[in-house]
Amino acid sequence: MNKVKVAIIGLGGVAQLVHLPNLLKIKSVIIQSVAEIKTNRLNAIAEKFNIPERYKDYRELLAKSDVDAVIVATPTALHKEIAIDCLNAKKELLVEKPIARTFKEATAIVKAAKKNNKKLMVGMNLRFRPDTLLLKSLIQSKEIGDPFYTRAVWIRRQSSEEKWFMKREDAGGGVILDLGISLLDLSLWLMDYPNVKTVQTHNFYQSRKTLEDTSISFIRCGNSKLINIETSWALPVEKDLFQLSVYGSNGSITSTPLHLYKKVENQIIDLKPTLSESPSHLFKKSYLNELKSFIGAVRGLNPIFSSGEQAVERLRVIEAMYKSADSNHEVKIS
């Protein structure tokens, strides 16, 4: 395969600000088609990015366009139907996170990918940040020994101002499905996927009655590993906060700012790795790295780095988090 012909379904903010500009930077990609139900948006974006094919109905795109791969960037409630239609049309697929609203919906998408023998990737872009890739490398090389505790915090405004984003039936949830699922995925990935045993979550509804805007979870895993996740759209802080710390038997490592603390002869030494990029640049670069990985997988150059199967397991934990918050009890995961 020389160049990968790509289509994007859904032209909201993430497509306009992330996918389209970054796809233009990848020489092995042709942006062939776009689909969007809002006519003015469809025409404006297609003209801006010089995209030859435009469709109001994504089904027409799948029927007429010869694209190799599709990126689904629609509201979450539409992911299941569109993803399954794309896979049945024999297209390789990247779905923005979360893959779906529920464990059941996500499972149906993964089954369709297996049935059609097509690649399915989910947009967990935090894995592709240069600093978290470095954290993963240092943890794998046992620089901090055996990791046993991860604390992840993300406080920022909500990711979208679209009306659907604030409706539970469309978005599937609040800050947990916006920010928490990414931190859960990142934490489990960094700790090499320990089995989740129990979840205890407390949600706060400071500004909305139907969607949680702050959430705190303690996740107990096998081999006595623990994950603490804090996410919020509403906590009063001076500026956005993203911080991840992984503690091991022989040290710890923290992102933004990046520090590696290591036990050496009963002393704690800061072996700060060099990474000069700003937090905003690290975040932007994560999306480009993610798309390069997806296109590489489509071309057969690398495996899928964030699979549908992993996304299904994340939603199993997410549903337990909501159940725990609703019942005010710790929930076991079978």
Does 78 have pLDDT greater than 90?
yes
**Residues 328, 201: contact at Cβ < 8 Å?**
no
Asked, for residue 272, whether it belongs to a domain, the answer is yes
Does 210 have pLDDT greater than 70?
yes
**Mean pLDDT in residue range 307-316:** 97
Residue 93 sits in the same domain as residue 188: no
Asked, for residue 296, whether it belongs to a domain, the answer is no
| pLDDT at position 334 | 80
For residue 276, name the pLDDT band (cuts at 50, 70, 90): low
| pLDDT at position 238 | 87
- Of 150, 153, 156, 155, nearest to 136 (Cα)? 150
Residue 163 sits in the same domain as residue 106: no
Q: Rounded to an integer, what distance in angstroms lies between the CA atom of residue 25 and that of residue 3?
A: 13
| pLDDT at position 280 | 72
Phi, psi (5° rounding) for residue 184?
-60, -50
Residues ≥6 apart with Cβ < 8 Å to 283? 129
Does 1 have pLDDT greater than 70?
no
Share of the chain above pLDDT 70, in %: 98
| pLDDT at position 274 | 67
Look at 32-46, 54-68, 147-161, 180-194 and tell me which has the smallest mean pLDDT.
147-161
Residue 191 sits in the same domain as residue 281: yes
**Mean pLDDT in residue range 195-199:** 97
Residue 93 sits in the same domain as residue 192: no
Asked, for residue 307, whether it belongs to a domain, the answer is no
In this structure, the number of other CB atoms found within 10 A of the CB of residue 263 comes to 15
Q: What is the CATH number of the domain that holds 80?
A: 3.40.50.720
Residue 167 sits in the same domain as residue 224: yes
**Mean pLDDT in residue range 123-150:** 94
| pLDDT at position 277 | 65
Domain boundary among 80, 99, 124: 124
| Tokens representing residue 139 in the block | 């943890």
Look at 157-161, 256-260, 314-318, 326-330 and tell me which has the smallest mean pLDDT.
157-161
> What is the side-by-side order of every strand in the sheet holding 53-55?
53-55, 29-35, 4-9, 69-72, 92-96, 120-123
Does 23 have pLDDT greater than 70?
yes
Residue 102 sits in the same domain as residue 152: no
| pLDDT at position 84 | 98
Q: Exposure of 156 by Cβ count < 10 A (0-12 exposed, 13-18 middle, 19+ buried)?
A: middle
Distances (CA, A) of 167 to 10, 104, 214, 230: 18, 19, 16, 22
H/E stretch holding 324:
helix 308-327
Q: What is the CATH number of the domain that holds 205?
A: 3.30.360.10
Residue 154 sits in the same domain as residue 272: yes
List, for residues 279-306, the tens digit of each pLDDT value. Answer: 677 788 999 999 999 999 999 999 999 9
Asked, for residue 245, whether it belongs to a domain, the answer is yes
| Tokens representing residue 231 in the block | 């996410």
Residue 58 sits in the same domain as residue 145: no
| pLDDT at position 70 | 98
For residue 79, name the pLDDT band (cuts at 50, 70, 90): very high
Does 134 have pLDDT greater than 80?
yes
Distances (CA, A) of 39 to 161, 290, 323: 20, 29, 40
Residue 206 sits in the same domain as residue 83: no
| pLDDT at position 259 | 86
Does 87 have pLDDT greater than 70?
yes
**pLDDT, greater one: 271 or 54:** 54
Residue 110 sits in the same domain as residue 179: no
**Mean pLDDT in residue range 119-129:** 96
Domain boundary among 124, 141, 165: 124
Asked, for residue 43, whether it belongs to a domain, the answer is yes
Compute the C-alpha angle 204/206/210, nearest 5°: 75
Asked, for residue 299, whether it belongs to a domain, the answer is no
Asked, for residue 298, whether it belongs to a domain, the answer is no
- Of 175, 122, 160, nearest to 318 (Cα)? 175
**Residues 94, 83: contact at Cβ < 8 Å?**
no
| pLDDT at position 281 | 78
**pLDDT, greater one: 55 or 168:** 55
What total number of domains does the chain contain?
Answer: 2
| Tokens representing residue 301 in the block | 């150059």
Residue 138 sits in the same domain as residue 221: yes
Asked, for residue 118, whether it belongs to a domain, the answer is yes
Residue 105 sits in the same domain as residue 138: no
**pLDDT, greater one: 107 or 282:** 107
For residue 140, name the pLDDT band (cuts at 50, 70, 90): very high
Domain boundary among 70, 99, 124: 124
The residue range of the domain holding 109 is 4-124
